[in-house]
Amino acid sequence: MAGKRLSRDTAEAIADAYRAGQTMKQIAQDLQLHRTTISETLRREGVPKRQKGLTLGQAKQAEHLYATGDSLATIGRRLNVDATTIRNVLLRRGISLRDPMDVRADNCSPEGTL
């Protein structure tokens, strides 16, 4: 069953938000719409989609940040992508991922507690 068609104002607002740098995921959350609705609206509006994933420079930056202890989520926020994107990039680059439940040694007191 097809959903209700978006108004012209909403379609223009989606295109404007995307051009201003918001991600499809952010726009979908803000408007309480599905991400594919946002994607299709952008296609209908003739808005070119940004490169998916990371550039080589961003991948190297993600690798460096991860090696220095940043979390996948922190790196993702910094590079404006999802943590899963960071995870996939690091795995493709042959990086072993930390157990997310491990506590970093520098966050512990001398007794080994938080």
Q: What residue ranges do the domains of the chain occupy?
A: 8-45, 56-97
Q: How confident is the model at residue 101 (pLDDT cuts 50, 70, 90)?
A: confident
Kindly state the helix (H) or strand (E) to which residue 56 belongs, with its residue range: helix 56-67
Token pair 């609206």 is found at: 41
DSSP secondary structure code for residue 92 in this structure: H
Q: State the pLDDT at residue 99.
A: 87
- For the cut 80, the answer to whether the pLDDT of residue 104 exceeds it is no
- The model's pLDDT over 1-58, given as tens digits with 9 standing for 90+, comes to 356 789 999 999 999 999 998 889 899 999 999 999 999 999 999 999 887 778 899 9
How much is the pTM?
A: 0.52
pLDDT confidence of residue 12:
96
